[in-house]
Amino acid sequence: EVDRIPVWVMRQAGRYLPEFRELRSRYDFFTICRTPELACEVTLQPIQRYDLDASIIFSDILVIVQALGMIVEMQPSVGPVIPDPLKEPIDLDRLKQSIDVKQELGYVFEAITLTRHRLNGQVPLIGFSGAPWTLMCYMIEGGGSKTMSKAKKWLYKYPEESKRLLQILTDIIVKYLIEQVNAGAQMLQVFESNAEYLNSELFDRYSK
């Protein structure tokens, strides 16, 4: 039971705030993500403009993919693009098999701590991560897709390697979320945005 049922509405609206567009004219997307002061500023912009119930740290689910050693570009009018996606199981060897989350993603934690301080209790701060299957899709598809056919093909053609990749991602995500809480996040969201592309049998098989 809660006083007010939380509703997630038009989460992209912040992208179109004039103050955000001004900042984006000077810095590329991932520079803002990797610069705690800038990420904090963008996180606070909607709070300063509107009477909202919570703030969410400015970041992107694909920072984990970058931490694993893959290049991710944010292309205008396209969105995230991975120029050299995973094509065959041997490509898994290109990934860092384990990472120091604090070292590779410390800029996110610094942004959370800074934002939490500047919010000064005004509203709660939400942290987040992409979920394993959704990140796997981007890593194999090389970006967005209407079918996720390449990623789904991996599940059927390379089941063991798919499990290996999902486990690598799961281990990092767990550590990443724990460190977000340690940095000051008061609530966490895990985005499994591509769950709709799996039937219940596949989802059940690969989520264990």
Alpha carbon distance 140, 202 (integer Å): 17
From the number of C-beta atoms within 10 Å of its C-beta (0-12, 13-18, 19+), residue 137 rates as buried
Alpha carbon distance 33, 58 (integer Å): 7
Which one of the listed residues 34, 138, 176, 197 is annotated catalytic? 138
Residues in the chain: 208
Alpha carbon distance 171, 179 (integer Å): 13
Query: Is 34 tagged catalytic?
Result: no
CA max distance for the chain: 51
Query: Is 11 tagged catalytic?
Result: yes
Which one of the listed residues 11, 16, 26, 93 is annotated catalytic? 11
Q: Is 162 helix (H, G, I), strand (E, B) or coil?
A: helix
Query: Is 24 tagged catalytic?
Result: yes
Which one of the listed residues 24, 118, 164, 205 is annotated catalytic? 24
Residues marked as catalytic: 11, 15, 24, 60, 138
